[in-house]
A and B are shown apart, each in its own frame.
Chain A
Amino acid sequence: MTPPILEIEDLTVSFDGFNALNHLSFQMETGELRVIIGPNGAGKTTFLDVITGKVKPTQGRVLFKGRNLRRYSEDQIARFGIGRKFQTPRVYLNLTVRENLELAGARQKGVLSTLLHPLPKPDRERIQALIETIGLRPKANFPAGLLSHGEKQWLEIGMLVAQSPDLLLVDEPVAGLTDEETRLTGELLVALAENHSIIVIEHDMEFVRQIARTVTVLHEGSVLCEGSIEEVQNDPRVIEVYLGAPLEEPTSQKQP
């Protein structure tokens, strides 16, 4: 039997005595699209930091395809097949759209192959197609610094896809996007979920409803509950942690 793509056991991360994650356990099967929600400070971003190796667990284990990630650095973990999109788009502003995607999409990440081997033709075609998909063909040779916020978000999602990871971690992909862009991003993620495992962290409940199958709610560094969007929304504990208000009210505002 294949192990679950991601398995987290009794994970605790503390910063100077403060437990950002507190005995958290989590499991996800290959091919799943999982949405993680939770109030501010629930530990959502730390959760991604631990999976990608930016933060090492104080206690507990993170297993990716059955492999304990503790010993590995961020770049090794990325090469194992975990890709991450950041909350605020982080693209290389001085490089063009094409160059951004080329760096992310190159299969060989070693010094010598980067220096000596041109990108093979299938990779170039893949990147060309990706640029069309994210709608940036007319701006392919622009420095990414000239793109709008929404275009940067899309470019970063494109970079994530170019990396062709098995597990995509997507942190607030629709923050600051227009409704139309949000809808398109949702469609893109659902399409990607056909052949990737994806974790999405999001505040925007409209958006969560569009894409979610299973939702995990984090609260104070632990999993509060898990289930379909309806189950979660009707769970009294969830309603309580969102300040006793209905789930939508405090979260429907988008991040600036």
Chain B
Amino acid sequence: MPKLPKLSFPKHRISAPELGVVAALALVLIFIMPLVLPGFRLDLLHRYLALAIVALGIDLIWGFTGLLSLGHGIFFALGGYAIAMHIKLQVPAGAASPLPDFMTLYGVTELPWFWYPFYSFAFAAVAVVLIPALLGAILGYLVFRNRIRGVYFSILTQAAIIVFFNFFNGQQKLFNGTNGLTDFQTLLGVPVRDAQTQYWFYVLTVIFLALAYLLCRWLTMGRFGRLLVAIRDDEARVRFSGYNPTSYKVLVFAISAALAGIGGAFFTLRTGIISPRAMDIAFSIEMVIWVAVGGRASLIGAILGALLVNFARSLLSEQFADIWLFFQGALFLIVVLALPTGIVGWLRTESHLFLARLLGRPQPLATYPELELDPEIQYERDVLKQEGKHPS
């Protein structure tokens, strides 16, 4: 009787081929796309790649860990504000006041204390990641420690985003209120809106997306990733296995918030504005839709979903400005009803069956090679053979 091979325990390491594919795709985005796409489309692609970084974070907490955050706009906006504050402090030499332009408008004479550290680019760059991460960790700790889960968690994230929206919206003197921070001039001495500068921002976005993908991949592939899935599927059971789910959830929530912050910063650099509108509830819900469309618990799915939904939106709203919202609603319904695992989930599990049916091929029979070696199955097969009933 053939013996089963020794059980393999996969290494917790991203394989060389996968690294190669990620690098190749990044190079295509960096070098080929700018040649192929007209400037306007490249602009959109850049924005959507920034949003894809956010989508990766959403997938990490929702797709893998089962935490449905409907308030990730907070972290997105904080990332955007952090980099925008640094840029707003680059006041041109000839200006009448050394303060950011909007402050003089509201009669502010002295820079608010918390703006000072943002003079340093290094601080601002770290703040893009750390402020959302710390806030995520604190909020997460308070919520998860008290075992608030499921729908209650989602409602809390909505409440949090309303608080933040109102705070930023109301503080004209601190953050220019509703108008947000805009009219960017220079960053590290180069003009922000220059085409060349924007190209470098684009390159950086691609690199950060690739790094974010690899980070999420590394997090989700090993025992840690399995534990996230276990928390999603049966958190109480995880406790009885001796794990404290709170620390795991706090960590992924903080990472997810940091990714949203990075995405928000790059998005802000491209659009040239960050305002409380980034904390619209609808926008945070859209983030979830990207992931649902692309495929929950699939990192490729999250990126694909962010790109597809947003490009569909821009194409459709160019043609029929009014119907995009209907289309978005329909898209979400279709995904929930017909493609619960999203596009990537469907590709993984059902597309080959669908293709076979389309081509009139016989349906492939699902079987497991290792089962063939099961002694019990061997035994039954032998019995059947003796009775002359087995086909082989």
**Contact of A95 with B229 at beta-carbon distance under 8 Å, contacts A90-B237, A103-B223 already known:** yes
Q: Which of B6, B230, B239 contacts A103 (CB 8 A)?
A: B230
B-contacting 9-mer, from A139-147, A175-183, A199-207, A240-248: A139-147
Nearest A residue to B237, CB-CB:
A90
List B contacts of A73 (CB < 8 A): 239, 244
**Contact: B243 with A92, CB < 8 Å?**
no
Chain B CB within 8 A of A111 CB? yes
Q: Considering the chains assembled together, what is the distance between the CA atoms of A95 and B221 in angstroms?
A: 12
Of the candidates B7, B223, B239, B247, which one forms a contact with A140 in the assembled complex, judged by CB atoms under 8 Å apart?
B7
A-B contact list, 29 entries, CB within 8 Å: A73-B244, A74-B236, A74-B239, A75-B238, A75-B244, A78-B241, A79-B242, A90-B234, A92-B226, A98-B9, A99-B223, A104-B241, A106-B223, A109-B241, A109-B244, A111-B247, A111-B251, A114-B224, A114-B227, A114-B243, A114-B248, A115-B223, A118-B9, A119-B9, A124-B9, A128-B7, A138-B377, A139-B374, A159-B241
Contact surface of B with A, Cβ cutoff 8 Å: 4, 6-7, 9, 11-12, 219, 222-224, 226-227, 229-230, 233-234, 236-245, 247-248, 251, 368, 370-371, 373-374, 377
Asked if A216 is at the interface of the complex by the 8 Å CB criterion, the answer is no
Q: Which residue of B lies closest to A92 (CB)?
A: B230
Instruction: Given A92-B229, A95-B230, A138-B4, answer yes or no on A115-B224 (Cβ-Cβ < 8 Å).
Output: yes
- The answer for the CA separation of A133 and B226 in the assembled complex, in Å, is 23
What is the CA–CA distance of A95 and B233 in the complex, to the nearest angstrom? 10
Q: Which residues of B contact A119 (CB under 8 A)?
A: 9, 223
A-B contact count (CB 8 A): 103
* Closest 4 A/B residue pairs (Cβ): A78-B242, A138-B374, A74-B239, A115-B224
- Whether B6 contacts A92 by the Cβ 8 Å rule is no
Partner of B241, one of A111, A138, A163: A163
- CA–CA, A54 and B238, complex, Å: 12
Number of chain A interface residues as a range: 35 or more
Q: How many angstroms between the C-alpha atoms of A78 and B244 in the bound complex? A: 10
**Which residues from 68 to 97 on chain A have a C-beta closer than 8 Å to any C-beta of chain B?**
73-76, 78-79, 83-84, 86, 90, 92-95
Contact B222 A163 (CB under 8 A): no
A137 within 8 A of B: yes
CA distance A95 to B230 in the complex (A): 8
Decide: B240 and A52 in contact? CB cutoff 8 A.
yes
Q: How far is the CB of B45 from chain A (nearest CB, A)?
A: 33
Contact between A138 and B242, CB atoms less than 8 A apart = no
| Residue of B with least CB distance to A106 | B223
Closest A residue to B239 using CB positions: A74
Which chain B residues lie closer than 8 Å to A52 at the CB level?
240
Contact B243 A118 (CB under 8 A): no
Contacts of B233 in A (CB 8 A): 92-94
**B residues near A124, Cβ cutoff 8 Å:** 9
Least distance between A41 CB and chain B CB atoms (Å):
22
| CB contact between A139 and one of B240, B248, B370 (< 8 Å): that residue | B370
Q: Which residues of A contact B370 (CB under 8 A)?
A: 138-141
Which A106-149 residues have a C-beta within 8 angstroms of B?
106, 109-111, 114-115, 118-119, 124, 127-128, 131, 137-142
Partner of B227, one of A54, A79, A103: A103
Contact of B226 among A74, A102, A131 (CB under 8 A): A102
| Contacts A103-B230, A138-B373 given; does A109 touch B4 at CB 8 Å | no
Contact call B239/A111, Cβ cutoff below 8 A: no
**Contacts A92-B234, A111-B248 given; does A163 touch B242 at CB 8 Å:** yes
Contact between A75 and B239 (Cβ–Cβ < 8 Å)? yes
Complex contacts, B6 vs chain A, CB 8 Å? 128
Task: Decide if A138 touches B371 in the complex (CB within 8 Å).
Answer: yes
Contact A114 B223 (CB under 8 A): yes
CB atoms of A115 and B234 under 8 A apart: no
Q: Could you tell me if B229 and A98 are in contact, using CB atoms closer than 8 angstroms? A: no
